[in-house]
Amino acid sequence: MCEILIVEAQKTAASALAERLRTDGMQPVIASGGTEALCMLDQPRFDAILLNRTLPDSDGLSVLRELRTRTIDTPVMVLSTRGSVADRIAALDGGADDFLMVPYHMDECMARVRRMVRTYRRRPAAENAIRCIADLTVDTERHVATRSGQRLPLTDKECAILELFAKNPGVTLTPDDIEAQLSPELVRRSTALIPVYIHYLRQKLDVGFSRRLLHTVRRAGYVLCADMPRK
């Protein structure tokens, strides 16, 4: 069964959408504000999102931009009383898949929802593109990493090294291992530089978080895991 997230502060409108979705064989989940919606979107879960532009705690487009920053590709239809060309462009450029002006006809809204779900389910998923370790998510297709929902500002070198670790969770990698699997464009032929890159990566990956994920294994190398490896 399709699960659809409704981000709508107006109870009457949210209830009407939820009732119609149930009638059409879909499972609605309601969030009354942007903060609540983003908490529900920590992990990809929904087949589509209906997002009102006007929310009590945030602008709907800021919610949209945040979930795209988290690399959540769930299709989003923005619902808005503002239907100017500029408003539609802002929504679509912000990552929306569709835009519907309020008030709308419920039959049209449901047809658009069904189209989004069909399109989303036909998207070819990159095999094992998303790697998760604790609260770290690494998208090896888009080359984006987030931790606790925060995007990590990684350089190309740092991102390549992190992706290598994410593909080998719990495996101790030596500097030679790391260098051998990086392209020559990303790293000079000197394993002495690998600890420098690891230091930079660790500053962005672990500093400010209560749990360390990138560990040094004495006289062996480095390992990415949720818990300190046993000696």
Residue 40's pLDDT band (boundaries 50, 70, 90)? confident
Task: Provide CATH 3.40.50.2300 ranges for the chain.
Answer: 3-122
Hey, which of 18-22, 179-183, 216-220 has the most confident mean pLDDT? 18-22
CA proximity to 115, closest of 175, 19, 48: 48
State the Cα–Cα distance between residues 29 and 204, nearest whole angstrom.
35
What percentage of residues in the chain have a pLDDT greater than 90?
55
The CATH code for residues 130-224 is: 1.10.10.10
| Neighbouring residues of 38: CB distance < 8 A, sequence distance ≥ 6 | 63, 66, 67, 149
Note whether 154 and 201 are within 8 A (CB): yes
pTM for this model (two decimals): 0.56
State the Cα–Cα distance between residues 93 and 131, nearest whole angstrom.
27
Task: Give the pLDDT score at 199.
Answer: 94
Task: Provide CATH 1.10.10.10 ranges for the chain.
Answer: 130-224
Task: Give the pLDDT score at 7.
Answer: 97
Q: Which CATH superfamily is domain 3-122 in?
A: Response regulator (3.40.50.2300)
**Span 102-121, average pLDDT:** 92
